[in-house]
Homo-oligomer: A and B are copies of this chain.
Amino acid sequence: MSKNIYIIRKEHFNAAHRLRRTDWSDEQNERVFGKCANKNWHGHNFNLIVTVKGVPSQETGFVINLTTLSSIIKKEVLEVFDHKNLNEDVPYFKNGLASTENLAIVIWDLLEMPIEKEGGKLAKIRLEETENNFVEYYGGNEPF
């Protein structure tokens, strides 16, 4: 049996955002999004945990070199989102909602190909918005 194994790298970024629909009244926004609807933004320290699947190389013992994986995450995600405003500074949520769920899906799409070019297979994204609120995304798959 091939020895499939999962290698995981944790990175961090800080960003501002708000959850607010311009086609809704202030009342409706506050009813649905609560304090997250605040016009003047709020922000978070996001933890991003990226899982890559593969068989360890005979030559190096690595599924993917973690230095390489860390560089990919920094280039593709942290340079885009770190110390930024998710609604204003990036194109992904101009016409959509910067929920943690949607942010995780965008991050998957940014990471999938660059990781594949290095011989790994992106298997899972975990995005931690606060100490108590997290999202996990498996590229649309349903492992459970």
- B-binding residues in A (CB < 8 A): 1-12, 14-17, 19, 32-36, 38, 40-45, 51, 53, 56, 60-63, 65-67, 82-85, 88-89, 96-102, 104-105, 123-124, 130-138, 140-144
Contact = CB atoms under 8 A, between A and B. Distances in A.
A140 to B, nearest CB: 5
Name which of A8, A40, A42 has the most chain B CB atoms within 10 A of its CB.
A42
A14 B101 CA distance: 18
A53 B135 CA distance: 10
By secondary structure, the A interface counts as mixed
B41 A16 contact: yes
A73 B42 CA distance: 19
Nearest to A53: B142
Contacts of A63: 101
Contact of A137 (B6, B19, B135, B138): B6
Given A32-B60, A38-B85, A102-B61, A45 B130 contact: yes
19 contacts: A4-B140, A5-B104, A6-B135, A6-B138, A7-B135, A8-B134, A10-B131, A10-B133, A10-B134, A11-B132, A14-B44, A19-B61, A33-B60, A45-B45, A45-B130, A53-B142, A56-B102, A60-B99, A138-B144
